[in-house]
Structure 1
């Protein structure tokens, strides 16, 4: 979306009613508005399907926002429908072509940047939904796109004078060979992480795959990490504020695999990770139903893991190699974390 000042200027001509309606609905998720929340969604959808609504980039932004909001509220079937409509509209508009932004940018660099970001955000969302739910196939991964990469968030928000010269995906992917030392945005590295995700989704399932397949995947992940500039290696920017784009980029990379590559973890690390995930998801669950659902799933998995472990503790071989003190400590720790998980479950249920 356009930065607020530019968005308000465009809103004066009355051409972005559906987009504003989608914003109103998403905003209502963060405050208590009673029955109005459902009405805001109904109004946004009505405008989306109104024959008088132009089928343009602003409608695409509307569909994309509604897709994200519905998916976050566990309305996955409706979200998939809108995602499909978003993809079809994007390809009909040819927003994935290099010249779309200039042709439809009204001579305003910030609007041109908005169109570039719209394509790439749709691309990332398509990949993330495919990776998380595994009900879609990352359709846009297979379509060519020569759209310039987005700039940094602060450059976009600062307006036309802050937007730097354009860079493209091939510039980023070949920078080690070309000697190109220009900086690339966090959004660009998020796109690269999503492209890696698409490569994995197209590959043969890793479970039971050959060592060569596993090695290829590990090489892709390692290359993404080791070629990050120093300023992008964690989710904090130079002002020690959270860089949302890099946070998502790292999340996408680490999630692939946590699923596919990581072996057994140190038990204390695993306990801390479970606590961290439950706590974070509970906080997000105050707004997004999908996070609340995920928190319940994590609790359920954790409970199952520790129940199985407790059942195995009656076997003498389970404690082989441990001292009596280590055994007592392990049992006490397991009991503590089970109590914590069950306690958190009870609080969430209330």
Structure 2
């Protein structure tokens, strides 16, 4: 049986300096640049770099030879090589979470000059998974490839792809300001290239297998940039979701297995997807398509939350209906996150992640869980904009708590946490803040104890992710600051103190929890991979 969650500035900008070391939301002390691994000797890189630049596909061609599969850490250890190069680590632990670069068998067939900008960024991302890799060195190489004042990159789809990937890496390394700059540059170039129109991807199709795969790659690159823009707008809510209102005719991506094997079906259009409710025959779209729809709904939520004048406006009601409809209209085969092969569908996982985060964004400001007295913003969750609701506050409270509970359930799925998107870190933090507020004074009895365990679960997950992503270590300490504010808040008038968790317990969880504990034992497969870097690119 599967697991179901249904119903439950200038272009040639020089190298950016490291983030300032001031305390606060930047948490620069938790950047990889300050970690022992970032201070490791860069000699293996320099020794290998020249050969890699002569033929940047040498290592992946030598290893893959047409293979696209890597076993996951929970599979028999005899199936896993002891060491791997950076390109192997990228495809083993990151590609499934953001599958928009070419599959390895097709990357290996691509002419090197087309990938000179993408490959350094892929190596930067992969270095997060290698404990001995000098991540900052690889970041500097990626930055130089993208923003060299003397040799700017070509203006094409591969550069947009590299910029999008680099922005994801910068967010994961907790450099939020630079992440936003690079993301905006990717949007600017993508729109200049008219990647938002069907003609861009279709122009790459020459009716060959490689042409169809490249066209699919461009579709995925556009939608990945759309996904990134939406998530960052939700996490920070400092600017609008730029791409949400941009006209788009890009067809929807296919299933991941089809993309990996090069069997690309005729793509479905966005109009077909939007008309699926009333179609004579049910069409099952790809998991990637439902992930895209989740981010589109997030755009509705952000538009509704931004209308402060009337918190119960029609836009808010429509966004709430869209959130509910998303789950109600999922086909039966898409309601299970774990398939018959016992693997988690990462695209559906992220879709549920976004839907439940959006539910919290919409309902928490009008619930008992938000107060203007508590500065509960972190590096990747927005400060609450408390507003008075005309509907019962209990309704909004219940919806926000239910969404946080579902996010906790996502943590327990049988998949290494590090193989999920690094953006899951921010969503875990959002759920932890909801549970902290609920446990401190609202919940009691069985519900209270379950919420208490979910706080432990979230803290354990952040500690696990901290081993790979710098942003997780930052927000973990910020959750402690939020807890301090929550416990200093007076109980709302008319309520009685019924909380079953103490401030001391929360601090102990943060400072002492070293493993992710789940009912039935320690889930050791949630930790770092057994693959280790062999020093090669």
Please indicate the TM-score interval, normalised by the length of the shorter structure: 0.7 to 0.9
Partner in structure 1 of residue 238 of structure 2: 135
Partner in structure 2 of residue 163 of structure 1: 264
Instruction: Please state whether the residue corresponding to 2:468 is helix, strand or coil.
Output: coil
- For 2:460 and 2:467, locate their aligned partners in 1 and report how far apart those are by CA, in whole Å: 11
Deviates more, 1:267-276 or 1:19-28: 267-276
1:272-316, Cα deviation, whole Å (9 max, x unpaired): 33222212121111111112222223333344434547xx6xx99
Deviates more, 1:89-98 or 1:203-212: 203-212
| 2:179 corresponds to which of 62, 79, 88 | 79
Partner in structure 2 of residue 323 of structure 1: none
**Is residue 226–residue 243 contact of structure 2 (8 Å, CA) maintained in 1?**
yes
Deviates more, 1:212-221 or 1:122-131: 212-221
- Structure 1, unpaired ranges of 5+: 320-329
**Is residue 231–residue 238 contact of structure 1 (8 Å, CA) maintained in 2?**
no
How much has 1:101 moved relative to structure 2?
Answer: 1.3
1:203 equivalent in alignment to 2:325:
no
Aligned residues: 329
| 2:224 corresponds to which of 121, 125, 128 | 121
| 1:46 corresponds to which of 144, 158, 162 | 144
**Is residue 303–residue 315 contact of structure 2 (8 Å, CA) maintained in 1?**
no
Instruction: Please state whether the residue corresponding to 2:343 is helix, strand or coil.
Output: coil
- For 2:153 and 2:306, locate their aligned partners in 1 and report how far apart those are by CA, in whole Å: 42
Partner in structure 1 of residue 203 of structure 2: 103
Which gives a bigger RCO, structure 1 or 2 (Cα 8 Å, sep 6+)? 2
1:226 equivalent in alignment to 2:328:
yes
- For 2:513 and 2:113, locate their aligned partners in 1 and report how far apart those are by CA, in whole Å: 43
Instruction: Please state whether the residue corresponding to 1:124 is helix, strand or coil.
Output: helix
For the structure 1 residues 8 and 29, does the alpha-carbon distance in structure 2 shift closer, same or farther, using more than 3 Å as the test?
same
Partner in structure 2 of residue 318 of structure 1: 496
- For 2:115 and 2:204, locate their aligned partners in 1 and report how far apart those are by CA, in whole Å: 15
- For 1:180 and 1:169, locate their aligned partners in 2 and report how far apart those are by CA, in whole Å: 17
With the length of structure 1 as denominator, give the TM-score of the two structures: 0.86
1:334 equivalent in alignment to 2:501:
yes
With the length of structure 2 as denominator, give the TM-score of the two structures: 0.57
- For 2:163 and 2:205, locate their aligned partners in 1 and report how far apart those are by CA, in whole Å: 20
- For 1:136 and 1:9, locate their aligned partners in 2 and report how far apart those are by CA, in whole Å: 40
Partner in structure 2 of residue 184 of structure 1: 285
- For 1:200 and 1:104, locate their aligned partners in 2 and report how far apart those are by CA, in whole Å: 35
| 1:346 corresponds to which of 507, 511, 534 | 511
Instruction: Please state whether the residue corresponding to 1:176 is helix, strand or coil.
Output: helix
Partner in structure 2 of residue 289 of structure 1: 470
**Is residue 306–residue 334 contact of structure 1 (8 Å, CA) maintained in 2?**
no
Deviates more, 1:189-198 or 1:103-112: 103-112
For the structure 1 residues 135 and 204, does the alpha-carbon distance in structure 2 shift closer, same or farther, using more than 3 Å as the test?
closer
Instruction: Please state whether the residue corresponding to 1:145 is helix, strand or coil.
Output: coil
- For 1:211 and 1:129, locate their aligned partners in 2 and report how far apart those are by CA, in whole Å: 24
| 2:276 corresponds to which of 148, 153, 175 | 175
**Is residue 234–residue 247 contact of structure 1 (8 Å, CA) maintained in 2?**
no
Partner in structure 2 of residue 31 of structure 1: 130
Partner in structure 2 of residue 15 of structure 1: 114
